[in-house]
Amino acid sequence: AQSVTQPDIHITVSEGASLELRCNYSYGATPYLFWYVQSPGQGLQLLLKYFSGDTLVQGIKGFEAEFKRSQSSFNLRKPSVHWSDAAEYFCAVGPITGGGNKLTFGTGTQLKVEL
Amino acid sequence: EPEVTQTPSHQVTQMGQEVILRCVPISNHLYFYWYRQILGQKVEFLVSFYNNEISEKSEIFDDQFSVERPDGSNFTLKIRSTKLEDSAMYFCASKQGRETEAFFGQGTRLTVV
């Protein structure tokens, strides 16, 4: 069964510092990969996605993620964090074929930004 | 920008009561989903719906749950007899095609008392 691991439950960074959120997945083949962000009381907003092609993908709000097949990872990065980036971040995988293309989510990483 | 809308934003219901959570997916989308997030836990898949039928459902989606697309625009989740453990945030999502991303609504927070 597919699974997603986000090993960091909480991360605190200073505003202006760089950020990397880790995501590892377990899946029989290369899945579709996503990062979503959830601000307090809000829904899930898509930050970026990887379907195929260039393994470094750019997203909204200055975020990027790199797919590393050999490590089964899809880590999210941002060179300089803003206070408004404080939120919960979810990595998700979805199958390329079969079924209803459901997403499997990780447990999330809560990001706190210190001013 | 088109968005998925969910109503109500909050619902409080008594145990054993039926609830219907409503969603209006993005208009040209063909795949529809319900997910839930119990407080402090991860987002879990409930059901996917395509071509007017369920295409996949999770173990959570038992006989107490049903989905419907009654009029070509709304997509509803019904829980027939709510339990305390059904308390969660329920998210509706839709997507245009297989190789596209899913867009999520703001969620309905369901509290069963």
Nearest-by-Cβ selection for A105 from B43, B54, B56: B43
- Distance from the Cα of A103 to chain B's closest Cα (Å) equals 7
The residues, any chain, with a CB within 8 Å of residue A53's CB and separated by 6 or more, are none
Q: Answer yes or no: do A101 and B98 touch at CB < 8 A.
A: yes
B109 CB-side CA count, 13 A: 7
**Interchain CB distance below 8 Å, B48 and A100:** yes
- For A62-104, the pLDDT digits (tens) are 999 999 999 999 999 999 999 999 999 999 998 766 556 889 9
DSSP state, A70?
G
* Maximum CA extent, chain A: 45
| Contact B31/A at CB under 8 A | yes
Nearest to A90 among B31, B43, B49 (CB): B43
B63-113 pLDDT, tens digit per residue, is 999 999 988 789 999 999 999 999 999 999 999 987 788 999 999 999 999
Q: For A86, list phi and psi in degrees, rounded to 5.
A: -60, 120
CA atoms within 13 A on the CB side of A28: 5
Structure tokens at A81: 């964090």
pLDDT the model gives residue A40? 82
- C-alpha span between B112 and B68 (Å, rounded): 22
pLDDT tens digit sequence for B98-112: 778 899 999 999 999
pLDDT in tens, B4-61: 999 999 999 999 999 999 999 999 999 999 999 999 888 999 999 999 999 999 999 9
Question: How many A-B residue pairs are in contact by the CB < 8 A criterion?
Answer: 60
- Distance CA(B91)–CA(B69), nearest Å, equals 16
Min CA distance, A114 vs chain B (Å)?
22
Task: Please determine, for residue A30, whether its predicted confidence score (pLDDT) is greater than 90.
Answer: no
